[in-house]
């Protein structure tokens, strides 16, 4: 019963890859499967201060024995390509139909929702592309229960959570002594910290563009500024609701989150604000760059026009003078008809007059400062 799927428009798709929306009027809670998505792989990590299990399970039901124990169970699902598995997952964790829909539907805005004994957290993870500027973006959904945490990721690649797995395995820090809420915090923190390397790329690129805009603005510069603005717009769309979500977590005092972890979340909130701050700063810088670009283009035009004006203003009068003595008035019919042509010093005088005109004009332009700007290569 897989329904007709329409894709989210392309411009946005770059942020929300593989986003789908329902045919208007479909049942709420309907699960839509993208046929090209990866088959779901389920990883289970179960730990206590002195115990650690990490394994891949085949069916959601295999997780059941772990969920009721005192140990913390982290079930991580990667890939969304099978409807049956996902629905069985929903049953195992007793998910509300809307929770299941949100977890599976990959175009949700980051948010936090409280379902009495479960907390749904939707977050967005970004991972920098290696060569070119840009980033991959992926939705990560958390369902936080009493002793367990279910996370759902779209695909196995581009994951910045591996560090956390290693930390649990090696028992570094206090993570093994804390509950599932601390685990959720740790993962959220890793996701937020993942924005910094992406921002680093944009900072570098803006700095390069700055020099380019001022010293050699080309059409490509323009395209790149626009491109950066568009991508920062997407980053902003990803981080703003994340801040609201974390703020809700801190404020709403759900019983699933202990007071201790709330202090850590405050730290995570600070980082989110810092990311937002940098995104906004970059946006202002890039829109300032657009102004500078426009001014630089106008400046360039001024110099082009100055050159044209200088050349034209000097040679057009000279050509006119030459034109006069190219006229064919019959000097024999009258002494007034271009007697200069027959003067002994006619030609040298004519050349001297021309040189004087040219020198006068050059002096005029030099005094207005046009020559240094328009023809010097240095100032360019």
Per CB under 8 A, contacts with a copy of itself among 169-228 are: 172-173, 175, 186, 189-191, 193-194, 196-197, 199-204, 206-207, 210, 214, 216, 218-219, 222-223, 226
Q: Are 135 and 128 in contact (CB under 8 A)?
A: yes
Task: Look at strands 20-21 and 6-7 and give their pairing.
Answer: antiparallel
Interface pattern 255-294 for a copy of itself (x via CB under 8 A):
--------xx-xx--x--xx--xx--xx-xx--xxxxxxx
Residue closer to a copy of itself by CB (options 9, 70) is: 9
Site residue total, a copy of itself (CB under 8 A): 139
Residue closer to a copy of itself by CB (options 247, 331) is: 331
| Contact between 156 and a copy of itself per CB under 8 A | no
Measure the CA–CA gap between 164 and 184, rounded to whole angstroms.
Answer: 11
Segment 34-93, which members bind a copy of itself (CB under 8 A)? Answer: none
Handedness of CA 84, 86, 89, 93 (dihedral sign): negative
**Residue 52 CB neighbour total at 10 angstroms:** 15
Looking at residue 194, the DSSP 8-state letter turns out to be T
Quick one: which of 17, 158, 229, 243 contacts a copy of itself (CB under 8 A)?
Answer: 229
Segment 89-118, which members bind a copy of itself (CB under 8 A)? Answer: 96, 98, 101-102, 107-109, 111, 113, 115
Question: Least separation, in Å, of the C-beta of 329 and a copy of itself?
Answer: 4
Task: Look at strands 148-153 and 20-21 and give their pairing.
Answer: unpaired
Question: Least separation, in Å, of the C-beta of 64 and a copy of itself?
Answer: 26
Looking at residue 153, the DSSP 8-state letter turns out to be E
The string of DSSP letters for 22-72 reads PPTTPPTT-----TTSPPPEEEEEEEETTEEEEEEESSGGGGHHHHTSSSE
Task: Look at strands 41-48 and 20-21 and give their pairing.
Answer: unpaired
Question: Least separation, in Å, of the C-beta of 59 and a copy of itself?
Answer: 26
Question: Least separation, in Å, of the C-beta of 68 and a copy of itself?
Answer: 26
Question: Least separation, in Å, of the C-beta of 325 and a copy of itself?
Answer: 4
Residue closer to a copy of itself by CB (options 85, 99) is: 99
| Contact between 322 and a copy of itself per CB under 8 A | yes
Q: Are 119 and 176 in contact (CB under 8 A)?
A: no
Question: Least separation, in Å, of the C-beta of 293 and a copy of itself?
Answer: 6
Question: Least separation, in Å, of the C-beta of 61 and a copy of itself?
Answer: 25
As a residue count, the chain comes to: 380
What Å distances lie between residue 283 and 235, 242, 280, 287, CA to CA? 10, 18, 5, 6
| Contact between 17 and a copy of itself per CB under 8 A | no
How many angstroms separate the most distant Cα atoms in the chain?
A: 125
Residue closer to a copy of itself by CB (options 13, 61) is: 13
Please name which of 11, 36, 34 lies closest in space to residue 21, comparing C-alpha atoms.
34
Piece of 24-32, 45-53, 63-71, 83-91 that binds a copy of itself (CB under 8 A)? 24-32
Residue closer to a copy of itself by CB (options 305, 359) is: 305
| Contact between 313 and a copy of itself per CB under 8 A | yes
Handedness of CA 75, 80, 86, 90 (dihedral sign): positive
| Contact between 148 and a copy of itself per CB under 8 A | no
User: Which residues face 124 on adjacent strands?
Assistant: 139
Phi, psi of 135, rounded to the nearest 5 degrees: -155, 150
Residue closer to a copy of itself by CB (options 59, 218) is: 218
């Amino acid at each position: 019963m897989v329904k007709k799927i329409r894709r989210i428009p392309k411009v946005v798709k770059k942020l929300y890859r593989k986003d789908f929306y329902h045919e208007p009027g479909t049942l709420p809670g309907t699960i839509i499967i993208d046929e090209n998505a990866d088959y779901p792989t389920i990883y289970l990590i179960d730990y206590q201060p002195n115990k650690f299990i990490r394994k891949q399970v085949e069916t959601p039901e295999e997780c059941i024995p772990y969920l009721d124990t005192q140990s913390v169970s982290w079930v991580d699902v990667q890939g969304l390509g099978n409807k049956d598995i996902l629905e069985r997952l929903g049953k195992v964790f007793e998910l509300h139909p809307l929770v299941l829909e949100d977890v599976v539907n990959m175009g949700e805005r980051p948010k936090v929702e409280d379902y009495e004994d479960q907390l749904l957290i939707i977050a967005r993870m970004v991972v920098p592309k290696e060569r070119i500027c840009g980033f991959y973006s992926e939705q990560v959904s958390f369902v936080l229960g009493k002793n367990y945490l279910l996370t759902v990721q779209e695909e196995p690649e581009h994951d910045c959570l591996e560090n956390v797995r290693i930390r649990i395995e090696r028992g570094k820090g206090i993570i093994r002594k804390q509950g599932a809420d601390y685990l959720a915090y740790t993962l959220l923190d890793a996701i937020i910290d993942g924005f910094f390397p992406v921002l680093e790329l944009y900072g570098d690129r803006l700095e390069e563009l700055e020099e380019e805009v001022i010293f050699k603005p080309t059409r490509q510069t323009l395209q790149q500024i626009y491109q950066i603005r568009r991508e920062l717009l997407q980053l902003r769309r990803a981080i703003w609701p994340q801040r609201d979500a974390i703020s809700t977590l801190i404020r709403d005092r759900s019983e699933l989150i202990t007071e201790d972890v709330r202090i850590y979340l405050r730290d995570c909130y600070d980082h989110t604000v810092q990311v937002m701050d940098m995104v906004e700063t970059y946006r202002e810088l890039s829109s300032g760059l657009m102004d500078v670009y426009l001014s630089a283009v106008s400046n360039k035009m001024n110099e082009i026009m100055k050159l044209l004006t200088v050349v034209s203003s000097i040679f057009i009068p000279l050509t006119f003078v030459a034109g006069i003595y190219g006229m064919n008035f019959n000097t024999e019919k009258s002494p007034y008809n271009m007697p200069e042509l027959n003067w002994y010093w006619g030609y040298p005088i004519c050349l001297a007059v021309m040189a004087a005109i040219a020198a006068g004009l050059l002096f005029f332009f030099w005094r207005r400062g046009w020559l240094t700007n328009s023809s010097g290569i240095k100032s360019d």
